[in-house]
Amino acid sequence: MKKVKVLITLDVDPNDKISESLDISLALLRKYGIKSTFFFTANYATSKDVLKVVKEGHEIGCHGLNHDDYEELNKLSYAEQLKTITKATQKLERLSGKKVVSFRGPRVKISNETVKVLDELGYKYDSTVGSQRVDLISSNFINFGWIFASRKPYHMSFKSPFRRGKSKIMEVPISALFVPFISTTLRIFGVWFMKRLFDLLYFESRITGKPIVYLVHPYEFVYEKTKFTPDLVKPNRKWLIHGLPIRGWVSGRHKGDELIEMNKKLFSYMKKKEGVEFVTVNNFR
């Protein structure tokens, strides 16, 4: 029986309830015996939070330095990205005591300059690209690079993160079938829909060996209590940066406790599928 690798990935974005949301996330993962990758925004990471994640056997990944409007990796120069990602990497490695080898761009944005920086800094994996994702709930809006990117993991090109190439960085795409396999989709369409989406991704994985990558934000588990940093709540006049207003409209659709229960049902369903193995980004092969 071919194993179906499932990667539960968590983007730890800036907010004032990080510690509480991580406790809930860790308890949820512990319940189902899942080892995950937590992508931390470095300047909002604390030693206490990072170490409790490491203690439970999860991977620490980098999600940029500040996750703000400056850190638009599809626009920043090589020099700017090298400075920013180096600072973020060094802090996370200092806090965790481990080499950080997995990256996800803030607002899932990336460029060929990012590939060069990650390669130089010794990263092994990136999980930013949403292959064949076309939707209105992304801060990328419609990214044509995503549409033509490989569905299976691939070494990225120095000329484009959406093409195969000769860099050392292996792209592990966030799963999508036009609709993304992320917790925002769970909030909008519910558990039944996400189970059916998983069924399709599971069928594909059985044939091709492609890992299934699910993205969730810990802050969603305490959403009604959360205050976000100013950069995350600016009006969507900058819709090309933050995405269409629909992203905000769907955010309050469910309270944190409801989202926890919805994810429990989804994780339980995935776990019962024959051959499913939960792994971290740096351990998916």
148-169 pLDDT, tens per residue? 999 999 999 999 999 999 999 9
Measured between alpha carbons, how far is 183 from 25 in angstroms, rounded to an integer?
13
Round the CA-based radius of gyration of the chain to a whole number and report it.
Answer: 17
Backbone angles phi, psi at 173, to 5 degrees: -65, 145
Residue 140's pLDDT band, with cuts at 50, 70 and 90, is low
Domains by residue range for the chain, with CATH: 4-283 (3.20.20.370)
Q: For residue 51, what is the enclosing H or E element?
A: helix 47-55
| Cα–Cα nearest to 281, from 11, 86, 35, 24 | 35
200-227 pLDDT, tens per residue? 999 999 999 999 999 999 999 997 776 6
Whether the predicted pLDDT of 235 surpasses 70: no
DSSP state of 133: B
| Mean pLDDT, rounded, of the chain | 90
Break the chain down into helix, strand, coil percent, rounded to 5. Answer: 45, 15, 40
